[in-house]
């Protein structure tokens, strides 16, 4: 079914209107090559993102933003290494290398990203006790970031997601966006992937929620 939907969507142009928002997720130095938690070729999505930005009236940035004693960092647990998991009160947590620490250059948006037209920046992951993959909720799935309210007050119906990375922050944002009732589109040429064991899991979850995958070249302005 996913293949069928994708084939249809790949040939379908999408007209962008005032009720659409572009959400640019975590395009930060630490997630790009040479960063602390680099997504392979993570910087190659910046050009298609920059080309897409002028099509939208509503542009939102999300920014991973952790205190250095954040509990998602392996360095804050005894005898734990990055990419091991740990059971937290809200569920299983992957332990990451230290990344996107508040105020550091790694937490800054990549310098090539055009951030000038964004009206809203959602920072997430600043609560030391809990991680936040999704731009809508922390990983307990109930603590909101405020993004849903922002979108609703601006009468947004469809959200177009780009950024880093598919398996975590982009994917979980898409899941929450769909569950909250937004129509969700993933612009795959502008989304970086780790291509790890979580890729297929995420793809399957998104298929069940009818999240649409398409590309930036299919969008046009009204």
Which residues fall within 8 angstroms of residue 57, CB to CB, at 6 or more apart?
A: 18, 20
Instruction: Decide if 150 contacts 92 (C-beta within 8 A).
Output: no
Residue 217 bears catalytic tag: no
What would the two tokens of residue 51 be? 């080309």
Residue 100 bears catalytic tag: no
> Which residue in the shown chain puts its C-beta closest to Zn ion?
64
Instruction: Decide if 206 contacts 199 (C-beta within 8 A).
Output: no
Residues near Zn ion (CB under 5 A), total: 2
Nearest approach, Cβ of 66 to Zn ion (angstroms)?
Answer: 6
Preceding amide of 165 cis, omega within 30: yes
Instruction: Decide if 42 contacts 165 (C-beta within 8 A).
Output: yes
Nearest approach, Cβ of 137 to Zn ion (angstroms)?
Answer: 14
Nearest approach, Cβ of 136 to Zn ion (angstroms)?
Answer: 15
Q: What is the dihedral of CA 178, 184, 188, 194, to 10 degrees?
A: -20
Contact string (CB under 5 A) for Zn ion, positions 122-161, x = contact: ---x------------------------------------
Contact string (CB under 5 A) for Zn ion, positions 59-78, x = contact: -----x--------------
| Beta-bridge partner residues of 96 | 73
Residue 124 bears catalytic tag: yes
Nearest approach, Cβ of 133 to Zn ion (angstroms)?
Answer: 8
By the criterion CB under 5 A, which residues form the site for Zn ion?
64, 125
Residues recognised as catalytic: 26, 124, 169
């Amino acid at each position: 079914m996913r293949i069928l939907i994708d084939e249809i969507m790949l040939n379908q142009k999408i007209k962008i209107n005032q009720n659409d928002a572009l959400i640019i997720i975590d395009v930060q130095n630490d997630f790009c090559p040479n960063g602390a938690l680099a997504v392979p070729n993570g910087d190659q999505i910046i050009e298609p993102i920059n080309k897409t930005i002028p099509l939208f009236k509503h542009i939102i940035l999300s920014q991973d933003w952790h205190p250095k004693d954040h509990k998602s960092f392996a360095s804050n647990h005894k005898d734990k290494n990055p990419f091991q998991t740990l059971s937290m009160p809200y569920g299983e947590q992957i332990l990451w290398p230290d990344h996107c620490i508040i105020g550091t250059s790694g937490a800054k948006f990549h310098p090539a990203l055009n951030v000038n037209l964004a009206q809203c920046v959602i920072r997430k992951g600043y609560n030391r006790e809990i991680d936040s993959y999704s731009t809508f909720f922390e990983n307990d799935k109930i603590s909101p970031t405020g993004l849903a309210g922002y979108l609703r007050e601006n009468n947004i119906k469809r959200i177009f997601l780009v950024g880093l990375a598919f398996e975590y922050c982009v994917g979980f944002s898409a899941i929450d966006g769909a569950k909250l009732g937004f129509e969700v589109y993933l612009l795959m040429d502008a989304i970086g992937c780790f291509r790890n064991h979580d890729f297929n899991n995420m793809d399957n979850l998104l298929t069940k929620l009818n999240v649409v995958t398409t590309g930036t070249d299919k969008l046009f302005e009204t």
